[in-house]
Amino acid sequence: MLVADRQKKIVELVNERLSIRVTELSKLFSVTEETIRRDLEKLEKENLLMRSHGGAVSIEKNQLEISYLEREITNATEKKEIAKEAVNLIEAGDQIVLDASTTAWYVAKELPDMPLTVLTNSIKVAIELSRKEQIKVISTGGTLLSQSLSYVGPLAERSLGIYHVNKAFLSCKGVHLEKGLSDSNEFQALLKKQMMEIADETILMVDTSKFGTRAFSHIGPLSTVDCILVDSKIDEELRINIEEKNIKIIIAD
Protein backbone atom coordinates (compact mmCIF):
# COMPACT_ATOMS: atom_id res chain seq x y z
CA MET A 1 0.00 0.00 0.00
CA LEU A 2 1.27 3.46 -0.91
CA VAL A 3 1.95 5.92 1.93
CA ALA A 4 -0.78 8.30 0.73
CA ASP A 5 -3.33 5.46 0.58
CA ARG A 6 -2.41 4.31 4.08
CA GLN A 7 -2.75 7.80 5.50
CA LYS A 8 -6.10 8.31 3.77
CA LYS A 9 -7.34 5.04 5.25
CA ILE A 10 -6.08 6.06 8.73
CA VAL A 11 -8.18 9.24 8.57
CA GLU A 12 -11.23 7.23 7.50
CA LEU A 13 -10.75 4.77 10.39
CA VAL A 14 -10.30 7.54 12.96
CA ASN A 15 -13.44 9.36 11.81
CA GLU A 16 -15.41 6.11 11.76
CA ARG A 17 -14.37 4.96 15.24
CA LEU A 18 -13.74 8.44 16.73
CA SER A 19 -10.47 7.16 18.23
CA ILE A 20 -7.89 4.47 17.52
CA ARG A 21 -4.57 3.36 19.01
CA VAL A 22 -1.13 3.29 17.39
CA THR A 23 -0.71 -0.41 18.19
CA GLU A 24 -3.93 -1.29 16.37
CA LEU A 25 -3.01 0.75 13.29
CA SER A 26 0.43 -0.85 13.25
CA LYS A 27 -1.11 -4.32 13.09
CA LEU A 28 -3.76 -3.33 10.53
CA PHE A 29 -1.22 -1.92 8.06
CA SER A 30 1.70 -4.24 8.92
CA VAL A 31 4.09 -1.35 9.57
CA THR A 32 6.03 -0.30 12.64
CA GLU A 33 4.51 1.84 15.37
CA GLU A 34 7.12 4.50 14.59
CA THR A 35 5.85 4.67 11.01
CA ILE A 36 2.29 5.12 12.28
CA ARG A 37 3.40 7.89 14.63
CA ARG A 38 5.00 9.72 11.71
CA ASP A 39 1.77 9.30 9.73
CA LEU A 40 -0.28 10.71 12.61
CA GLU A 41 2.10 13.62 13.04
CA LYS A 42 1.73 14.54 9.36
CA LEU A 43 -2.06 14.13 9.41
CA GLU A 44 -2.35 16.28 12.52
CA LYS A 45 -0.35 19.07 10.83
CA GLU A 46 -2.84 18.86 7.97
CA ASN A 47 -5.75 19.19 10.48
CA LEU A 48 -7.18 15.82 9.48
CA LEU A 49 -7.09 14.29 12.97
CA MET A 50 -5.74 14.95 16.46
CA ARG A 51 -3.05 12.86 18.10
CA SER A 52 -3.76 11.53 21.58
CA HIS A 53 -1.65 9.63 24.07
CA GLY A 54 -1.05 6.32 22.31
CA GLY A 55 -3.22 7.01 19.30
CA ALA A 56 -5.43 9.51 17.49
CA VAL A 57 -8.94 10.94 17.78
CA SER A 58 -11.33 12.38 15.23
CA ILE A 59 -11.76 16.15 14.98
CA GLU A 60 -15.01 15.96 13.02
CA LYS A 61 -17.07 16.44 16.19
CA ASN A 62 -14.42 18.29 18.14
CA GLN A 63 -16.07 21.70 18.13
CA LEU A 64 -19.51 20.36 18.96
CA GLU A 65 -20.80 19.08 22.25
CA ILE A 66 -21.25 15.32 22.14
CA SER A 67 -24.70 14.26 23.33
CA TYR A 68 -25.05 13.16 26.92
CA LEU A 69 -26.27 9.70 25.87
CA GLU A 70 -23.17 9.19 23.71
CA ARG A 71 -20.80 10.38 26.46
CA GLU A 72 -22.58 8.19 28.98
CA ILE A 73 -21.52 4.98 27.21
CA THR A 74 -18.01 6.13 26.20
CA ASN A 75 -15.37 4.62 28.53
CA ALA A 76 -18.12 4.04 31.09
CA THR A 77 -16.18 1.44 33.08
CA GLU A 78 -13.21 3.75 33.53
CA LYS A 79 -15.44 6.69 34.48
CA LYS A 80 -17.20 4.62 37.14
CA GLU A 81 -13.86 3.55 38.63
CA ILE A 82 -12.72 7.18 38.76
CA ALA A 83 -16.01 8.29 40.31
CA LYS A 84 -15.64 5.79 43.16
CA GLU A 85 -12.18 7.17 43.94
CA ALA A 86 -13.58 10.71 43.87
CA VAL A 87 -16.19 9.84 46.48
CA ASN A 88 -13.38 8.72 48.80
CA LEU A 89 -12.08 12.31 48.73
CA ILE A 90 -15.41 13.79 49.85
CA GLU A 91 -16.12 14.22 53.56
CA ALA A 92 -19.30 15.03 55.46
CA GLY A 93 -19.74 18.78 55.69
CA ASP A 94 -17.81 19.51 52.49
CA GLN A 95 -18.95 22.13 50.02
CA ILE A 96 -18.15 20.95 46.51
CA VAL A 97 -18.82 21.76 42.89
CA LEU A 98 -19.55 19.11 40.26
CA ASP A 99 -19.45 20.00 36.58
CA ALA A 100 -21.72 18.62 33.85
CA SER A 101 -19.47 15.72 32.85
CA THR A 102 -20.72 12.14 32.85
CA THR A 103 -18.01 11.31 35.40
CA ALA A 104 -19.49 13.94 37.75
CA TRP A 105 -22.88 12.27 37.29
CA TYR A 106 -21.33 8.94 38.28
CA VAL A 107 -19.91 10.69 41.37
CA ALA A 108 -23.42 11.90 42.22
CA LYS A 109 -24.74 8.34 41.87
CA GLU A 110 -21.99 6.95 44.13
CA LEU A 111 -22.28 9.61 46.85
CA PRO A 112 -23.83 8.35 50.10
CA ASP A 113 -26.62 10.37 51.67
CA MET A 114 -24.58 12.55 54.03
CA PRO A 115 -24.42 16.24 55.06
CA LEU A 116 -22.98 17.92 51.99
CA THR A 117 -23.49 21.01 49.82
CA VAL A 118 -23.15 20.48 46.08
CA LEU A 119 -23.07 23.28 43.53
CA THR A 120 -23.59 22.16 39.94
CA ASN A 121 -24.55 23.31 36.45
CA SER A 122 -25.75 19.81 35.54
CA ILE A 123 -29.44 18.88 35.46
CA LYS A 124 -28.56 15.17 35.61
CA VAL A 125 -26.38 15.66 38.71
CA ALA A 126 -29.07 17.75 40.42
CA ILE A 127 -31.77 15.15 39.74
CA GLU A 128 -29.55 12.31 40.97
CA LEU A 129 -28.73 14.15 44.22
CA SER A 130 -32.37 15.14 44.79
CA ARG A 131 -32.96 11.58 46.00
CA LYS A 132 -30.54 12.12 48.92
CA GLU A 133 -32.17 14.09 51.73
CA GLN A 134 -29.02 15.22 53.55
CA ILE A 135 -27.36 16.69 50.46
CA LYS A 136 -28.11 20.34 49.73
CA VAL A 137 -28.09 20.98 45.99
CA ILE A 138 -27.57 24.41 44.42
CA SER A 139 -28.07 24.78 40.67
CA THR A 140 -26.33 27.59 38.81
CA GLY A 141 -29.20 28.20 36.44
CA GLY A 142 -28.38 29.81 33.12
CA THR A 143 -28.80 28.97 29.45
CA LEU A 144 -29.63 25.32 28.83
CA LEU A 145 -27.45 23.26 26.51
CA SER A 146 -29.71 20.41 25.45
CA GLN A 147 -26.88 18.14 24.29
CA SER A 148 -25.24 18.01 27.74
CA LEU A 149 -28.31 18.86 29.85
CA SER A 150 -26.34 21.62 31.54
CA TYR A 151 -26.50 25.35 32.23
CA VAL A 152 -23.92 27.80 30.90
CA GLY A 153 -23.66 31.47 30.07
CA PRO A 154 -23.54 34.78 32.00
CA LEU A 155 -26.20 33.81 34.58
CA ALA A 156 -24.39 30.55 35.41
CA GLU A 157 -21.07 32.42 35.68
CA ARG A 158 -22.52 35.09 37.98
CA SER A 159 -24.11 32.40 40.12
CA LEU A 160 -20.79 30.62 40.57
CA GLY A 161 -19.09 33.90 41.45
CA ILE A 162 -20.98 34.33 44.72
CA TYR A 163 -19.88 30.98 46.15
CA HIS A 164 -16.75 29.39 47.62
CA VAL A 165 -16.24 25.62 47.81
CA ASN A 166 -13.68 23.28 49.33
CA LYS A 167 -13.29 21.07 46.28
CA ALA A 168 -14.07 21.20 42.58
CA PHE A 169 -14.53 17.90 40.75
CA LEU A 170 -14.22 18.41 37.00
CA SER A 171 -13.57 16.60 33.76
CA CYS A 172 -12.68 17.92 30.31
CA LYS A 173 -12.21 16.92 26.71
CA GLY A 174 -8.43 17.24 26.48
CA VAL A 175 -5.44 17.10 28.84
CA HIS A 176 -2.08 18.14 27.41
CA LEU A 177 1.05 18.21 29.58
CA GLU A 178 2.29 21.45 28.00
CA LYS A 179 -0.85 23.11 26.63
CA GLY A 180 -3.11 22.35 29.59
CA LEU A 181 -6.83 21.61 29.82
CA SER A 182 -9.37 22.16 27.08
CA ASP A 183 -12.99 21.48 26.24
CA SER A 184 -15.02 21.16 23.05
CA ASN A 185 -17.47 23.90 24.05
CA GLU A 186 -16.37 27.47 24.77
CA PHE A 187 -19.12 28.11 27.34
CA GLN A 188 -18.36 24.93 29.26
CA ALA A 189 -14.65 25.84 29.26
CA LEU A 190 -15.38 29.27 30.76
CA LEU A 191 -17.55 27.74 33.46
CA LYS A 192 -15.01 25.05 34.37
CA LYS A 193 -12.32 27.72 34.69
CA GLN A 194 -14.52 29.63 37.13
CA MET A 195 -15.31 26.48 39.09
CA MET A 196 -11.57 26.02 39.61
CA GLU A 197 -11.20 29.64 40.74
CA ILE A 198 -13.84 29.37 43.49
CA ALA A 199 -12.41 26.12 44.90
CA ASP A 200 -9.63 25.55 47.44
CA GLU A 201 -8.71 22.35 45.63
CA THR A 202 -9.33 21.13 42.07
CA ILE A 203 -9.62 17.42 41.36
CA LEU A 204 -9.52 16.51 37.66
CA MET A 205 -11.34 13.29 36.73
CA VAL A 206 -10.21 11.96 33.34
CA ASP A 207 -9.75 8.60 31.67
CA THR A 208 -6.51 7.98 29.79
CA SER A 209 -8.08 8.64 26.37
CA LYS A 210 -8.13 12.37 27.24
CA PHE A 211 -4.35 12.68 27.59
CA GLY A 212 -2.30 14.17 24.78
CA THR A 213 -5.36 15.76 23.16
CA ARG A 214 -6.33 19.42 22.68
CA ALA A 215 -9.91 20.50 22.21
CA PHE A 216 -11.31 23.75 20.82
CA SER A 217 -11.49 25.92 23.97
CA HIS A 218 -8.66 26.39 26.46
CA ILE A 219 -9.55 26.10 30.17
CA GLY A 220 -6.22 26.66 31.87
CA PRO A 221 -2.73 25.26 32.50
CA LEU A 222 -2.28 21.85 34.07
CA SER A 223 -0.66 23.55 37.06
CA THR A 224 -4.10 24.77 38.18
CA VAL A 225 -5.00 21.18 39.07
CA ASP A 226 -4.16 19.80 42.52
CA CYS A 227 -5.01 16.15 41.92
CA ILE A 228 -5.77 13.94 38.93
CA LEU A 229 -7.97 10.85 39.20
CA VAL A 230 -7.31 8.50 36.30
CA ASP A 231 -8.11 4.93 35.32
CA SER A 232 -5.68 2.03 35.64
CA LYS A 233 -4.76 2.07 31.92
CA ILE A 234 -2.38 4.98 32.39
CA ASP A 235 1.19 4.13 31.43
CA GLU A 236 4.17 4.59 33.73
CA GLU A 237 5.88 7.31 31.69
CA LEU A 238 2.81 9.52 31.72
CA ARG A 239 2.34 8.99 35.45
CA ILE A 240 5.92 10.06 36.12
CA ASN A 241 5.55 13.13 33.90
CA ILE A 242 2.48 14.24 35.84
CA GLU A 243 4.10 13.71 39.24
CA GLU A 244 7.16 15.69 38.10
CA LYS A 245 4.80 18.67 37.77
CA ASN A 246 3.99 18.33 41.50
CA ILE A 247 0.47 17.15 40.79
CA LYS A 248 -0.90 14.32 42.91
CA ILE A 249 -2.20 11.41 40.87
CA ILE A 250 -4.59 8.71 42.08
CA ILE A 251 -5.07 5.64 39.91
CA ALA A 252 -8.50 4.07 40.14
CA ASP A 253 -8.44 0.30 40.42
| pLDDT of amino acid 172 | 94
Query: pLDDT (tens digit, 9 = 90+) per residue, 14-47?
Result: 887 777 889 999 999 999 999 999 999 999 888 8
At the topology level, CATH places domain 68-251 in Rossmann fold (3.40.50)
| pLDDT of amino acid 64 | 47
| pLDDT of amino acid 62 | 44
Query: pLDDT (tens digit, 9 = 90+) per residue, 70-94?
Result: 554 456 788 999 999 999 999 999 9
pLDDT over 90 at 121, yes or no: yes
| pLDDT of amino acid 216 | 78
pLDDT over 80 at 101, yes or no: yes
| pLDDT of amino acid 219 | 94
CATH class of 3-57: mainly alpha
Which of 18-27, 113-122, 214-223 has maximum average pLDDT? Answer: 113-122
Q: Answer whether 116's CB lies under 8 Å from 134's CB.
A: yes
77: burial class by Cβ within 10 Å (0-12, 13-18, 19+)?
exposed
Pick from 170, 218, 214: which is nearest to 192 by CA?
170
Q: Give the span between the Cα atoms of 121 and 141, in whole angstroms.
A: 7
Pick from 141, 92, 147, 90: which is nearest to 120 by CA?
141
Q: Which residue has the higher pLDDT, 247 or 72?
A: 247
| pLDDT of amino acid 60 | 61
Domain chopping of the chain, boundaries: 3-57, 68-251
Angle, CA of 194, 196 and 201, to the nearest 5° = 155
pLDDT over 70 at 224, yes or no: yes
| pLDDT of amino acid 146 | 83
57: confidence class by pLDDT, cuts 50, 70, 90: confident
pTM assigned to the model: 0.72
Q: Answer whether 13's CB lies under 8 Å from 25's CB.
A: yes
Give the lowest-confidence range in 119-123, 141-145, 164-168: 141-145
| pLDDT of amino acid 38 | 94
Pick from 37, 15, 33: which is nearest to 23 by CA?
33
pLDDT over 50 at 232, yes or no: yes
Q: Which residue has the higher pLDDT, 97 or 238?
A: 97
pLDDT over 80 at 166, yes or no: yes
Q: Which residue has the higher pLDDT, 241 or 70?
A: 241
| pLDDT of amino acid 75 | 64
